[in-house]
Structure 1
Amino acid sequence: MKRGKKYTEAAKLIDRAAQYDTEEAISLVKKAAVAKFDETIECHIRTGCDGRHADQQIRGAVVLPNGTGKTVKVLVFAKGAKADEAQAAGADFVGGEELIPRIQNDGWLDFDVVVATPDMMGVVGRLGRVLGPKGLMPNPKAGTVTMDVTKAIDDIKAGKIEYRLDKANIIHVPVGKASFTEEQLVENFNALMGAINKAKPAAVKGAYLKSVTLTSTMGPGVKVNPTKLVNANA
């Protein structure tokens, strides 16, 4: 694959074989983020879990102390007083049954997170085929099926992110933007790793964190030493 000049220059800063400490890795990722837009800094965590087993699944959420740098649009499925509460809390869209044809038939997906009160999950369940593959289905473990819609919206707007295993047992999450300071990115990264360490399933055998890589949208990956992350955030 042919890489651009900027990528090639940025890649020279990084030793592909090395595993860096958190602070150094974040410093390198920031230096390598040379695109003309504010790149997202992402974290890719390869785990020792086997997601085919229910007792080795990982799914949850964590609020990043400095947010994600992205404006998040929240859709809330609620009715009555809870719908009013969602509006007051700053939800971008609030509704119920009437939204189903809009999402199912018109392909409307102009939102980033879906929150639902438990009594609306029967309605939301009918959208499983649309929302599920996009990772938008509300889930109690992620705090998006709740009666406390105000807290859910506040957390999401403040920088709450969801993490879950993909089919290859890897977790992919944003930890901020290239415009963030190194300190902000370190704080966000440490908060994420603390949550991931706490979420370790008891059934996992061997190494839990196999590899942890930080990368910007257009930049090369930088490996973080996983053994230090287990000890630092345990």
Structure 2
Amino acid sequence: MARLTKKQKEAVAKIEKGRIYSVDEASALIKEVTNTKFDASVDLAVRLGVDPRKANQMVRGVVTLPHGTGKDVKVLALVTPDKEAEAKEAGADYVGLDEYLDKIKGGWTNVDVIVTMPSVMGKLGPLGRILGPRGLMPNPKTGTVTMDIGKAVSDVKAGKIDFKVDKTGIVHASIGKASFSADKIADNANELLQTLMKLKPTAAKGIYVRSIYMSSTMSPSLAVDPKIG
């Protein structure tokens, strides 16, 4: 087992063993226990009482964080020429079609989100083996396959994220940066949690939100009260 550094020991000491924190308390404390030299990401891990193997218990959705993610999200807009100006004006980092499809075929995936049009999806099908595992395949359910390219790009740049329960029943999501104020971290956390509550599958029985943990890059995790109002 790796030894803890002095700073890591100090961080752990600030966390009360066995205590479950409120969102506001955790959002303030996470700033105190983060000791990286870079601006660390703040993440939530929410364990849900669902069986993701069953289609009627799959939890997937999108949320626009009120204060954004703090990340510079790189967006590729795969569009026809008549939509290129709209995509560029909205802030897309890369805009085009065939040349980028060829780059992706060659293994290029240096983007965070891909936005496209319904008419282009047919061309993306063969690239599923490349884009799928990286979470880059556009999906109408997340608003990344649409004719309103400008809005889709703007939403992503403003802090819209998509999330999906993994095979162990946990939703992982980045909700900001350690440099954010505690209030902003709490606002973003509450927005994600309230969105998750609205997506509770009718087929899910028993307790829906089993546990919530907040952490930042390389920090200890904080148990957060799973009772969401």
For Structure 1 versus Structure 2, the TM-score category normalised by the shorter chain is: over 0.9
| Identical-pair percentage | 46
Instruction: Name 2:37's counterpart in structure 1.
Output: 36
- SS of equivalent to 2:133: coil
Instruction: Name 2:137's counterpart in structure 1.
Output: 137
Q: Segments of 4+ in structure 1 off by > 4 A?
A: none
1:93-121 per-position Cα deviation (integer Å, ceiling 9, x unaligned) = 1122332221122x211111011111110
Match of 1:138, as an amino acid? P
- SS of equivalent to 1:98: helix
Number of equivalences: 228
**In the TM superposition, what are the counterparts of 1:165-184 in structure 2 within 5 Å?**
165-184=165-184
Whether contact under 8 Å (1:72, 1:157) holds in the other structure is yes
RMSD (CA atoms): 1.1
Match of 1:38, as an amino acid? D
How much does 1:200 deviate?
1.0
Does the alignment pair 1:147 with 2:147? yes
Whether contact under 8 Å (1:163, 1:171) holds in the other structure is yes
Structure 1 distance, partners of 2:8, 2:141, is 38
Match of 1:4, as an amino acid? T
Instruction: Name 1:221's counterpart in structure 2.
Output: 221
Structure 2 distance, partners of 1:192, 1:37, is 24
Whether contact under 8 Å (1:97, 1:123) holds in the other structure is no
- SS of equivalent to 1:100: helix
Instruction: Name 2:203's counterpart in structure 1.
Output: 203
Whether contact under 8 Å (1:76, 1:114) holds in the other structure is yes
How much does 1:83 deviate?
2.5
TM-score (norm 1): 0.94
Q: Please identify, of 78-87 and 217-226, the stretch whose mean Cα deviation from structure 2 is larger.
A: 78-87
How much does 1:213 deviate?
0.3
TM-score (norm 2): 0.96
Match of 2:159, as an amino acid? G
How much does 1:4 deviate?
2.4
Instruction: Name 1:64's counterpart in structure 2.
Output: 65
Instruction: Name 1:117's counterpart in structure 2.
Output: 117
Could you list the runs of 5+ residues in structure 1 that have no partner in the other structure?
none
Match of 1:182, as an amino acid? A
1:109-149 per-position Cα deviation (integer Å, ceiling 9, x unaligned) = 11110111111101112211011001111111111111111
Instruction: Name 1:15's counterpart in structure 2.
Output: 16
- SS of equivalent to 2:196: helix
Structure 1 distance, partners of 2:55, 2:182, is 37
Could you list the runs of 5+ residues in structure 2 that have no partner in the other structure?
none
